[in-house]
Chain A
């Protein structure tokens, strides 16, 4: 059976360029980038070049990039840092949204317990923050606005540039969790007035366990671990040369081919959405159609449950994901779908298919052929669907 990998928002396949440079670093360029001898300096050079390349891809300077273990660490670090800076000035109010990643939401919850006040902006039925609502939420004590660049489950792209402009005018730090956006959408942190930005390499065909925090020059960044002078004294731990080099290789490639990829991937996305909505009755597309991540497809199918849908698709070789309670390990379906105002019974029937430039139109055809069969099979055995058809609900 062939594998149709349509879970690129979860993680992506490593690209050859990243793999090659990674193996080279592991095998030949194994020195510690902090060592003074030539072996260490060779590694340090690779890291310096990678930092420069990565910075360029998002419009930053090399000394504004801090390597971390990934998006979660970057989010935790950026938000906690801005909160500490705010607290020093007596500013303990933060603005975010209801559908952030848990790396952001749980960090905010922790800060709330420490006495911070957080306003969670509504993302409405279509999954977009309203800029006027952000402006109204800003107070004298607001120290930070943290709003994701694009949502990981429903793909909606937020008005980052406008948010950046407002935050700059008001002198409020602006952090964005851009884990789903970097390498997929054009980003310019200077033009967009982004103070801090988190990203993770494995979302753009780089390796897992590596990411970075961009932190604007002049914004004081306080480290949260002790033990070494790496990352300009901000983030100790032996420099992960192979992963850093691979991140740069993957990001350079993603950015060089971005226009082509956006065009190719979003055409597959739109065809998949249009066809499925046409073929499968009582299907909902989650999140507005535009602006949307090129690869994100998110549906709710009435009358069925997402985990069984996911596993039946898996039996056909198709890898997707679901925000149903059963896949989240809790009793509630995904907080993102609930944030859109979807009732629990509909949110349970969610399916996310996330595409990349590695997918082919033949694979989309295969999904369009198989998905309706799987949904029909589950609906045929569903007492909920039976009631819906009888008009009892």
Chain B
């Protein structure tokens, strides 16, 4: 198994790494038992993602997908950020090994969870079509540990 040069670049030099005080939206998905947790912080101004930070516990591809996802949504309109798909993250990273695709799913879910938090804080109803069930994608591909959260 080898990572693309882009994955290694984002792993070695993660973009938007860090925490954020007074974030407008915070989303955390995954669980430690499965080996991946992503936390995304959003600063939203006039419907635009003005700033984004992430913290991740996980493998190199978990760090790289978090980094890429944050880069892809920074400066985007909230509605456009919602459309971010895991597939787009994988493509932007020049691919991921098959066993690591779940990291990109987690990255997409982390962005959605942060946006859901933003909507909830602002009294905007969540569209179940976009935000899915209550699980929010925790441990999406992890059959070994059952669903938590």
Chain A residues with CB under 8 Å of chain B are 303-305, 307-308, 311, 315, 324-327, 329, 331-333, 343-345, 348, 381-386
Q: Give chain A residues whose Cβ lies under 8 Å from the Cβ of B37.
A: 382-384
Check B39–A383 contact: CB distance below 8 A.
yes
Asked if A383 meets B28 with Cβ closer than 8 Å, knowing A331-B142, A345-B33, the reply is: yes
Asked if A305 meets B57 with Cβ closer than 8 Å, knowing A315-B12, A329-B99, A331-B144, the reply is: yes
Q: Give chain A residues whose Cβ lies under 8 Å from the Cβ of B101.
A: none
| Cα separation A383 to B1 with both chains bound (whole Å) | 26
Chain B residues with CB under 8 Å of chain A are 1, 11-12, 14, 17-19, 28, 32-39, 55-63, 99-100, 142-145
Q: List 22 A-B contacts (CB under 8 A).
A: A304-B57, A305-B57, A307-B59, A307-B60, A308-B59, A311-B60, A325-B34, A325-B35, A326-B35, A326-B59, A326-B60, A331-B143, A331-B145, A343-B33, A344-B32, A344-B35, A381-B56, A381-B57, A382-B56, A383-B37, A383-B55, A383-B56
| Cα separation A324 to B33 with both chains bound (whole Å) | 11
Q: Give chain A residues whose Cβ lies under 8 Å from the Cβ of B12.
A: 315
Which of B39, B58, B100, B144 gathers most chain A CB within 10 Å? B58
Check B59–A382 contact: CB distance below 8 A.
no
Closest CB of chain B to A331's CB: distance in Å?
4
Check B144–A381 contact: CB distance below 8 A.
no
B57 contact from A332, A343, A344, A383, Cβ within 8 A: A383
| Cα separation A5 to B107 with both chains bound (whole Å) | 34
| Cα separation A327 to B59 with both chains bound (whole Å) | 9
B35 contact from A311, A348, A386, Cβ within 8 A: A348
Which of A325, A345, A383 gathers most chain B CB within 10 Å? A383
Q: Give chain A residues whose Cβ lies under 8 Å from the Cβ of B100.
A: 326
Check A305–B58 contact: CB distance below 8 A.
yes
A386 contact from B55, B58, B145, Cβ within 8 A: B55
Q: Give chain B residues whose Cβ lies under 8 Å from the Cβ of A386.
A: 19, 55
Check B17–A333 contact: CB distance below 8 A.
no
Closest CB of chain B to A384's CB: distance in Å?
4
Closest CB of chain B to A306's CB: distance in Å?
8
Check A381–B14 contact: CB distance below 8 A.
yes
Check A308–B35 contact: CB distance below 8 A.
no
Check B60–A382 contact: CB distance below 8 A.
no
Q: Give chain B residues whose Cβ lies under 8 Å from the Cβ of A385.
A: 57
Q: Give chain B residues whose Cβ lies under 8 Å from the Cβ of A325.
A: 34-35
| Cα separation A318 to B122 with both chains bound (whole Å) | 48
